[in-house]
Homo-oligomer: A and B are copies of this chain.
Amino acid sequence: MADSASPAARSDTVRLDPSDNVVTAIRPLEVGAAVEGVAAAALIPRGHKIATTAIPKGAVVRKYAQVIGYAAEDIAAGAHVHTHNVEFRATEVAYEFGTDLRPVAPAKTIDTFRGFRRESGRVGTRNYIAVLTSVNCSATAARKIAAAFGPEEMAKYPNVDGVVAFVHGTGCGMAGDGEGFEALQRVMWGYARHPNHAGVLMVGLGCEMNQIDWLLEAYGLKKGPLFHTMNIQDVAGLRRTIELGVEKVRAMLPIANEAVREECPASELMVALQCGGSDAWSGVTANPALGYACDLLVAQGGAGVLAETPEIYGAEHLLTRRAVDRKTGEKLVGLIRWWEDYTARNKGSMDNNPSPGNKKGGLTTILEKSLGAAAKGGTTPLTGVYKYAEPVTRPGFAFMDSPGYDPASVTGQIASGCNLVTFTTGRGSAFGAKPAPSLKIATNTEMYRRMTEDMDVNAGRILSDGMTVEEVGREIYEQLLRVASGEVTKSEAQGLGDYEFVPWQIGAVM
């Protein structure tokens, strides 16, 4: 597309729909700057909104053709529209189910990547040995077991990507049943059987609530040459636990090294769709581009997993219309209700979500953020709604319940089976999460330039270079196939991903 054809390249603002009464500033606007025939009445920071018509007190503020809030006072045309003059109200929505189904056109060619096909039939994009912990009390043991495998020893196993310790702060001081306990067990189960793991060693203390033996029994996990467990209290101390653990991993390495990549269809890819440190561009550039990439993958028979329930809050009625059936849509509504209860019980509110950084970037309400966040999920039918860390079993576009908080959400997505992670960010992030490679997508060129060593894709070119959402979306899709085949992401090159395993802790810590 020629520069002259890109409206963004010609204007100081972006209008997302003709019916909107606000537009977004691409660059800082001085007082008096002309915007769609009105004059800016205040300095408008980059990414913030300006009213293009007067909005009387109580009237809706409209962006993406959707309600993002209500005028808390009379807002004049040309005024800065943000938290100081916009209020959030929970609105009653009549949910519709399956009324906006746009069945995906199957791709004409079958795209492929080179992955590790496992005995289970599932395909890995990486080949790690995992040291899992049931409780924080075995954290040091697990770290020291993993740390025993230095570059020299690992050089003997070129097909193994590393030995990784998955260490966390929970696993005891919790109820032995209920949501929190079940979520943690699903995470452990999901990492234990993840196709990016060639072998697994589970290390516990012995007296914790999250008992390893219960997990094996409940989920039918079987010990074997590539699946071991141990408890510090049984082994009689830390030193012996580390020694024995190192022995067990050392015995798995030659077997893990026998795994080789082979040609696999793109339908074997399951991509986590994530955002963090969002800004006003997230919903305009990176998220819609990622949504397009998701559509391309779904056309191949692959899966895209959206999550972050609090961040689609207020936009869930758009997703229920895409649900393949009523039951799937109602499951999503059930999650929303659960979250309203969860936050109320914890003396919070669903409007807490835009973080200081979000607000600084120009996002005013959770509704505005949600509409932009949901764009990551593209346009294809919603084929399933899953609990946190629950295995995703159907291809297509899926939704998994999770907090918006990046490490907790991605931990659930990986446990659910995602073998790739995509992560859009406006303010910048140094995220990575073993065992799945993370592709980081910048929403704006300025941040991309500042953090090039951390960003894999610059979706900011949609604004700065007049590229289309589809062009950047295709780039993301093609890069995902290469990364799935072993191409190293920015976060992998920097050695990230060892400290971002954060199972969602739902209940009380006791």
| Per-position binary interface string of chain A over residues 394-430, scored 1 when its CB falls under 8 Å from any chain B CB and 0 otherwise | 0000000001111110000000000000000001111
Residues of B within 8 A of A168 (CB): 169
- Which A residues, 465 to 510, have Cβ-Cβ distances below 8 Å to chain B? 494-500, 502, 504-510
Secondary structure dominating the interface of A: loop
Interface residue from B211, B236, B358, B499 paired with A139 (Cβ < 8 Å): B499
**Which of chain B's residues has its CB closest to A345's CB?**
B345
Residues of B within 8 A of A179 (CB): 347
User: Is A150 an interface residue, CB under 8 A from the partner?
Assistant: no
Residues of B within 8 A of A502 (CB): 136, 169
User: Is A456 an interface residue, CB under 8 A from the partner?
Assistant: no
| B404, A510: Cβ atoms closer than 8 Å | yes
Within the complex, what minimum Cβ distance (angstroms) separates A490 from chain B? 9
Work out how many copies of this chain go into the complex: 2
| B208, A355: Cβ atoms closer than 8 Å | yes
Interface residue from B233, B237, B505, B507 paired with A277 (Cβ < 8 Å): B233
| A403, B500: Cβ atoms closer than 8 Å | no
Q: Please name 7 further chain A to chain B contacts, defined as beta carbons within 8 Å, in addition to the given A172-B405, A173-B408, A208-B357, sorted by A numbering.
A: A137-B276, A169-B505, A173-B405, A176-B355, A209-B356, A232-B429, A233-B428
- Which A residues, 105 to 153, have Cβ-Cβ distances below 8 Å to chain B? 136-141, 143-144
Residues of B within 8 A of A358 (CB): 207
Interface residue from B139, B174, B494, B498 paired with A143 (Cβ < 8 Å): B498
User: Is A383 an interface residue, CB under 8 A from the partner?
Assistant: no
| B429, A205: Cβ atoms closer than 8 Å | yes
- Which A residues, 348 to 382, have Cβ-Cβ distances below 8 Å to chain B? 348-350, 352-353, 355-358, 360-361
| A451, B500: Cβ atoms closer than 8 Å | no
User: Is A343 an interface residue, CB under 8 A from the partner?
Assistant: yes
Give CA–CA (A452, B428) in the complex, Å: 48
**Which of chain B's residues has its CB closest to A497's CB?**
B140
User: Is A310 an interface residue, CB under 8 A from the partner?
Assistant: yes
| A348, B175: Cβ atoms closer than 8 Å | yes
Within the complex, what minimum Cβ distance (angstroms) separates A270 from chain B? 23
